[in-house]
């Protein structure tokens, strides 16, 4: 099965709470749930991760080799 790693970077954990009049009310959890639902509908695995630290995101990319497409 195809597997996708979705990386969300700095401050995206604040979606829906920080200036909702500018950025909207949709939270990162809402977006991740949508990604997960659509992936399941088309038979694709998905793992979502968020970090405010660039190094953690790079570590996730390196760690995904061989387990995510």
Note the Cα 18 to chain centre separation in Å.
18
Phi-psi group of 24: left, alpha or beta (phi > 0 → left; psi -120 to 50 → alpha; rest → beta): left
- Asked whether residue 69 is assigned to any structural domain, the reply reads no
Domain count, the chain: 1
Here the CATH number for the domain that contains residue 52 is 3.40.50.9100
| pLDDT tens-digit readout, 23-61 | 899 999 999 999 999 999 999 999 999 999 999 999 999
Give 21's pLDDT tier (boundaries 50, 70, 90): very high
How confident is the model over 7-25, as a mean pLDDT? 94
- Of 18 and 28, which is predicted with more confidence? 28
Report pLDDT for 12.
Answer: 96
Report pLDDT for 54.
Answer: 97
DSSP 25-56: S--HHHHHHHHHHHHHHTT-EEEEEE-S-HHH
Range of the domain at 20: 3-64
């Amino acid at each position: 099965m195809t597997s996708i790693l979705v990386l969300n970077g700095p401050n995206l954990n604040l979606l829906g709470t920080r200036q909702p009049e500018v950025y909207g009310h949709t939270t990162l959890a809402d977006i991740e749930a949508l990604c997960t639902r659509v992936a399941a509908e088309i038979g694709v695995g998905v793992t979502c991760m968020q970090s405010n630290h660039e190094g953690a995101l790079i570590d996730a990319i390196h760690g995904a080799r061989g387990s995510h497409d």
